[in-house]
Chains A and B, each alone.
Chain A
Amino acid sequence: MTLFISGHELKDLVDDMVPGAVDYAEESALWIESSKILDVCKVMKANSELDFSFLTAITAVDYVEYFELIYHLTSMRRNKSTVLKSKCSGRSNLKIPSVVSVWQSADLQEREIWDLMGIEFEGHPNMKRILLWEGFDGHPLRKDYIG
């Protein structure tokens, strides 16, 4: 069975490696401050005890005052999984560091989030729309988008 590592278990380890990154920890996820997400992800992959080599999915959810970004991670070698979350406040000019340099699988997923939700990922080599055509106005999956 894949063991789910709760936020509380991760908190101390991540705090040691990247001080000041953790916002707070809950049972289902570990909340990371948005500007430090790249450093935390590097640690999650490189640390041999954590060894989260597989990025299962990146999701963005629009809770009207802020956007929530959820990273589902899996460690194939140790058969464990965990969840990282991060917050982006505001409605426009949203930026967060891209994790493409850590896991290649973030490539297309981050483009999709930019396309449909409007969150820009800094450091992504090809930040263009992917599912909608160039020149489309707006970000459809937002709650205030009326098609």
Chain B
Amino acid sequence: MDLITSPGFINFHQIYDLTHKILTGLGVGSSAAWMSYLAACIAISFIIINVLIMSTAVYTWFERRVIGRFQVRRGPNRNGPFGILQPIADVIKLILKEDTIPSEADKPVFTLAPIVLLAPTLLTITVIPLGETSFLGSLNIGILFIVGVTSVNAIAIFMAGWGSRNKYAILGSMRGAAMLVSYEIPMALGITSVLLLSGSLAMTEIVKQQSIWFIAVMPMGFFVFMAAATAEMSRTPFDQIEAESELGSGYNTEYSGIKFAVLFLAEFMAPIITAAIVTTLFLGGTKGFDPIPGEIWFVIKMFIVIFVLLWFRATWPRLRVDQIMSFAWKPLFGLGIANIFLIALERQLLSDSAGNLSTENLIIMSVINWIITIGTLLIMANVLGRKKFERPKPVPSPLANMGGD
């Protein structure tokens, strides 16, 4: 286990050492190893689950208030001052509801689907460096772990729809699974461009290498990753699979009670996780100016990303399913590959003999990349999208003539 211990943040190895010391001090002997391992696992899981679930609860409150403000109305303000107890009211309601399982449903699949959806989301926070290191220390395959674990979402959504044995649910979940699988690729392409500059899969290493934030250095990669991540979370403008105004409610039609609460939780945890990943990869993670500690900087940046995601949700309509798929496979894929090519070229040309990039080189790269990105997006919008924007001049039909003969 190649984990690095470091002070300043609770992580797995610290708790392990601490418990080991206590247990050997008490004279437990040879079984101290697995007992302290177990204790550390339980402690870390407890902390992670609590942190994430509490922050998801606060996030649901935040989302409803902010979207209310966008819509010229207040959000919930009945339960507690500013509606701050609204998530608690929601949770109590969902727990008290009857937990129905359709008689035709495939019971093991139906029951396991929410758990399979929640587990990967909880796991991703373990490798995000919230301080100097993350909960699991500095895992040397950090970002690959995240990509692998989030792919399980597609299976979970398919299980949810399949287990319900409901026409609309299966329809929704099949669309959802297809969409999630297609957007894995642009996401991976966005991440690859970050890896080209950081040189390592470990998240802590990626943060260290950002002397200039990577959003400045590779705006195209940021755009590709943000679009792919929004689709992975099934949020507007890609939320066709759970669109309420279409047929039924998608894959979670048959769920009620606690199972629905878990699905709901997993859906709202996703933006938090995505914001954390985006902050680490593109916004410099815990780097910031001195008087404020790095952890607070991380939270501030996460907050900005979450707000932008909420802004998208409140403003834009949604795309149709085939438009979503073609968006993944044509523009995003092309931009992703172009971005990797561009970064690789620049790295080759600008790095010194040891293969390192100094800060000045990064600044040169960022200027070039911004110009190229803005140029590409303008060309794509104006040239390729020209057909849609042009409205042919209306010509009165000869079939009607209001002036008479």
Contact = CB atoms under 8 A, between A and B. Distances in A.
A79 B401 contact: yes
A80 B403 CA distance: 10
A76 B398 CA distance: 10
A77 B402 contact: no
A80 to B, nearest CB: 8
B399 to A, nearest CB: 6
B395 interface: no
| Most chain A beta carbons < 10 A, residue from B400, B402, B403 | B400
B244 interface: no
A3 interface: yes
B2 interface: no
Contacts of B401: 76-79
A109 interface: no
B404 interface: yes
B404 A76 contact: no
A6 interface: no
B290 interface: no
B405 interface: yes
A77 B399 contact: yes
A80 B400 CA distance: 11
B399 A79 contact: no
Interface string B370-405: 000000000000000000000000000011111111
Interface string A1-40: 1010000000000000000000000000000000000000
Chain B at the A interface: SS class: loop
Contacts of B403: 79
A41 B398 CA distance: 22
Contacts of B399: 53, 76-77
A50 to B, nearest CB: 12
Interface string A79-120: 110000000000000000000000000000000000000000
A1 B405 CA distance: 11
Nearest to A3: B404
A134 B153 CA distance: 47
A11 B402 CA distance: 25
A76 B405 CA distance: 10
Interface in B221-261: none
A143 B375 CA distance: 74
Contacts of B398: 77
A137 B404 CA distance: 47
Contacts of B404: 1, 3, 78-80
A79 B401 CA distance: 7
Interface string B42-57: 0000000000000000
| Most chain B beta carbons < 10 A, residue from A53, A76, A80 | A76
Contacts of B402: 79
B137 to A, nearest CB: 70
A44 to B, nearest CB: 16
Nearest to B405: A78
Contacts of B405: 78-79
A78 B400 CA distance: 7
Nearest to A79: B404
A76 B207 CA distance: 71
B400 to A, nearest CB: 4
A21 B377 CA distance: 68
Nearest to B404: A79
A3 to B, nearest CB: 7
A42 to B, nearest CB: 18
Contact of B400 (A1, A3, A77): A77
B353 to A, nearest CB: 79
A74 to B, nearest CB: 10
B402 to A, nearest CB: 6
Contacts of A80: 404
| Most chain B beta carbons < 10 A, residue from A3, A77, A78, A80 | A77
Contacts of A3: 404
Interface in B191-228: none
A20 B402 CA distance: 34
A77 B398 CA distance: 7
A53 B400 CA distance: 9
A52 B402 CA distance: 14
A76 B403 CA distance: 10
A73 to B, nearest CB: 14
B154 to A, nearest CB: 45
Nearest to A78: B405
19 contacts: A1-B404, A3-B404, A53-B399, A76-B399, A76-B400, A76-B401, A77-B398, A77-B399, A77-B400, A77-B401, A78-B401, A78-B404, A78-B405, A79-B401, A79-B402, A79-B403, A79-B404, A79-B405, A80-B404
Interface of B: 398-405
The 3 A-B pairs of least Cβ separation, nearest first, read A76-B400, A79-B404, A77-B401
Given A76-B399, A77-B398, 5 more contacts: A53-B399, A76-B401, A77-B401, A79-B401, A79-B403
